[in-house]
Amino acid sequence: MSQELMIASRPDFITELLPSARRTALLYHLSYLSLAKFPSLERILRERALETQILFGSSEVLLLKCAATSKNLVSTLLPGLKAAVEKDKSILAIKSLEKARAWITEIVDKVEQMVDRYDKHNQSVASCTSDVIKEKSETEKKLNEVNVAIKKLENDVKQDEEQLKQNSEEIRRIDATMAQLNQELQECIRQASRKRRRLGFFTALVPFVGPLVNAIFGANIDAGLAAKIKALSDQLSQLSTEKSKLRNKEWTIHIRLTTLQLKLASLKIAEGIIPDPIHLKDVQTCLSRIQQILIQIMKFWETVSVMLEALKEETFANEHFIEDSEMKEIFLESITTAQKHWKLFGEACLYAKGIFSLQNKSAYLFLEISPSSLSEKEWQKRYDSVIVELNKISPDPFASKPTAAIAQ
């Protein structure tokens, strides 16, 4: 039984990272403009935004580390394993694997530290939000009569916020279902690989779902197991499509909601009220999402580490392996295929690193000018410009970039 399955061909955690990073700076910019004529709040927000900029600079370095490690796997580890097998040097192979695990352990430690930094930074942004809310309540006391237009916009905003909440809950439900199905699929893959040497080597070297499933369908495995794998794969593909639609819907609601919030902010500013710090709350959401994605990256590398350890213990600890010409040929083929997938993954990490680099260098230049100093016309021009940029952000920045799917 042989067939190609339509499975996502890119790393989901990198895909979701980029829009969140891009959106964060723009939301800061909107918050900054909303606080025009409130200098103490401007100063607090500027400090938080600069902290975020520094954090993104560190994230850029981390992604570069991921890309460099992928490159080392392609250029050093896998060729080293190939040479060790060709020369019947199991000790050399074991040393190569131990070196790779040391690289990966370093990445896991650095990602863990970065997760903690995002957690502390998000708390400081939450504190900034509280300061804005406190100041807002003071200014509202000065208003005797609320504008009818403000009430209507507030109701529209609430409706969109409820839609967004429902959409997010549906995405979480799909994520939970996909996690369970992925676990079942991984177990089926392990069962299949235990029965075929070729699959066993390939599974140990390639932590990407799509290539693994396609390799299994090309190996004439047990019909019952094959049917189960296909059913799980089909379910995952369907859920992935549903999730993609929900992500697009989420983005549409975000854009519409942002427009409504901007109109509401303009009206409240005209009345002398500080707008709700909704964009700061969105900043917190983006930072939390980035933090969760970093946790996924950490788990991914931990999985790779376990795979390499198993490869060392179950393959190269067996001296008979290097004497079996058929097994050697199968293993060498697996290495060649693994190199291709790791190369694509490294390229995806470099692309994401580039996004963080741009965010770090240019996205926060707006902090150099106080919004209080802007004329009404210039203020509106900047507001409109930020909205245009927000609308340009795609929930799928890899739409034209084929990369390797990650086993999560």
Query: For residue range 80-124, what is the model confidence (pLDDT) as tens digits?
Result: 888 887 887 778 878 888 888 888 888 888 888 888 888 888 888
Query: Residue 76 pLDDT more than 80?
Result: yes
Q: How far is Cα 233 from Cα 350, in angstroms, rounded to an integer?
A: 29
8 A C-beta contact, residue 18 and residue 105: no
8 A C-beta contact, residue 376 and residue 36: no
Query: Residue 322 pLDDT more than 80?
Result: no
**Which residue, 134, 159, 151, 229, is CA-closest to 191?**
229
The count of C-alpha atoms lying within 13 angstroms of the C-alpha of 147, restricted to the half-sphere facing its C-beta, is 16
Domain 12-163+240-392 has CATH 1.20.1170: yes
DSSP code, position 314: I
H or E stretch covering 287: helix 278-311
Q: What residues does each domain of the chain span? A: 12-163+240-392
87: burial class by Cβ within 10 Å (0-12, 13-18, 19+)? Answer: exposed
Q: Across the chain, what does the average pLDDT equal?
A: 77
Query: In the prediction, which pLDDT does 67 show?
Result: 87
Highest mean pLDDT among 122-126, 245-249, 402-406: 245-249
First to last CA, the chain: 26
Torsion angle defined by CA atoms of residues 332, 337, 341 and 346, in that order, rounded to the nearest 10 degrees: 40
Query: Residue 32 pLDDT more than 50?
Result: yes
Query: In the prediction, which pLDDT does 170 show?
Result: 92
Query: Residue 37 pLDDT more than 80?
Result: no
Query: Residue 235 pLDDT more than 50?
Result: yes
Q: How far is Cα 249 from Cα 255, in angstroms, rounded to an integer?
A: 10
Q: What percent of the chain has pLDDT over 90?
A: 1
Residue 70: band (very low, low, confident or very high) from pLDDT cuts 50, 70, 90: confident
Q: What percent of the chain has pLDDT over 70?
A: 76
pLDDT digits (tens, 9 = 90+) for 351-405: 878 877 777 677 888 888 888 888 888 988 888 888 888 888 776 655 544 333 3
